Amino acid sequence: MSGNLTRDVVLVAHGSPDSRHARDIDALIRRVAGRAPHLRVTAAYLDHHGPSVADVGTAYSMGVGPIILVPVLLTRAFHTRVDIPDAAEGLGQASGRAVITAEALGPHPLVATAVRELLRHRQERQVVVFLAGSSRRAAIEELVEQLRAALGPERSYAFATLDGYLPLAGAVRDLGGPAGVVGVAGMIAQGVLRDRMVSQCAEHGVPFADGVLAQTDALAELTLLRIGAARPTA
């Protein structure tokens, strides 16, 4: 990935009816592009709004070399296992170019670094990391295990999911009650899901840290790591 050759990269995110989601993905792109001027980075979305991978593929049809597709996802759940391969196929068909699919952003220790970055101005020593959840429980358990191992001993952490698999009440109870506890979003971008996290924490008397993972330097670093490690499959 070194040298002056421009490489085309597509960050494929979930998408949301909330416009804040796309703004945060754009912020992530600016961080990535600022660190790696040889990359031409754009976003495509799986659902809710464009540009789609077909739209981006058409725009990249005049380029040369393979396109690197990065799944802007935190788990190896349905979207990573099913939607991303479909997106890679569609991107290749629309562009007429080879597509190299990088690993999804998570799970990875740098996701924990991004969470700590969101907490850097908070004084609370006990934290509920609030995750979106997934029907594939193993994917959530893998993410939680990685986060728990990488977050470090400076604070105490518990985990909750919006789908109730890991109940918020249980996480707060594990931390000894709401006093001195802060919530933080284990979400890449803002939107209705993060709003629900904030509301649910407020109902339990727990304040919420500002920001989302896409606004952190750590997630930009992780994105560049995934791009740099991307290799064609055999």
Q: What is the pTM of this model?
A: 0.95
Amino acid residing at 24 = D
- Which pLDDT band, with edges at 50, 70 and 90, does 234 fall under? low
Q: How many residues does the chain have?
A: 234
For residue 30, the SS3 value is helix
Instruction: Count other Cβ atoms within 10 Å, centred on residue 78.
Output: 14
pLDDT digits over 25-47, tens only? Answer: 999 999 999 999 999 999 999 99
- Angstrom CA distances, 25 to 35, 79, 166, 168, stand at 16, 17, 27, 27
pLDDT digits over 179-206, tens only? Answer: 999 999 999 999 999 999 999 999 999 9
